[in-house]
Amino acid sequence: MSEWVNACYVLLDRPVVAGRADEPVLVEDPVSHARLLEDVAAVAGVLRAQGVGAGARAIVSADGRRGVTALLAVARLGGVVGEGVLVDEDSVGELGWDEALRLGRTDPAPVADLPPSADWDGVRTAGDLAREVAALVTPLPVASLLSVLRSSLQV
């Protein structure tokens, strides 16, 4: 793993670059790496516009594919889950999901480069999360991926 890490890059960008763009990420929802990457970058763009960035916090209460998308968007920006911008089943901050995806695609967020030692809770680092995600084999059950992301991004 390189000196700089990001769990979203490890789970989505790296497989796309390696030619696995059309392979599914999730078991229950056959979304491809490329499509989920597009959605995550769009949601991250909206969250970035609402102030979420490295070390910033967002509340993610969505489940299923929206929960995975939101948590990976927070990870993409280097943010953490805690008090902050709300993402739930119906909205991304102040926008509905469909609107957020449309608007976010106009300015998708790039991956935030994080040093492996970056941490916001004194326990887990960006490197820890990237290593956990790198050990996962896709396609994954939604519940398994949500569990890893929630426990890793929680402060």
Model confidence band, residue 1 (pLDDT cutoffs 50, 70, 90): very low
What average pLDDT score do residues 5-23 get? 89
pLDDT of 130 > 50? The answer is: yes
Q: Tell me, what's the pLDDT at 121?
A: 55
Question: Does 155 map to a domain?
Answer: no
Which tokens go with 82?
């805690």
Task: Establish if 68 belongs to a structural domain.
Answer: yes
Q: How many domains does the chain have?
A: 1
Residue 140 clears pLDDT 50, i.e. is over it: yes
More confident residue, 80 or 155: 80
Q: Is residue 154 part of a domain?
A: no
In a domain, 15, yes or no: yes
Q: Choose from 33-37, 129-133, 144-148 the range with maximum mean pLDDT.
A: 33-37
Give the whole-angstrom CA distance, residue 35 versus residue 154.
25
The band of 142, judged by pLDDT with boundaries at 50, 70 and 90, is confident
> Residue 2 domain-assigned?
no
Higher pLDDT pick, 24 / 54: 24
| Residue 96, in any domain of the structure | yes
Residue 99 lies in a domain: yes
The two tokens of residue 118 are 């970056």
Q: Could you tell me if 60 and 87 are in contact, meaning their C-beta atoms sit under 8 angstroms apart?
A: yes
Predicted model pTM: 0.85
**Is the confidence at residue 87, as pLDDT, over 50?**
yes
* Structural domain for 37, as ranges: 7-114+123-149
Q: 14 pLDDT exceeds 60?
A: yes
Instruction: Give the domain CATH number at 28.
Output: 3.40.50
- Return the HEC string of the chain: CCCCECHHHHHHHHHHHCCCCCCECECCCCCEHHHHHHHHHHHHHHHHHCCCCCCCEEEECCCHHHHHHHHHHHHHHCCEECCCEEECCCEECCEEHHHHHHHHCCCCCCCCCECCCCCCCCCCCHHHHHHHHHCCCCCECHHHHHHHHHHHHEC
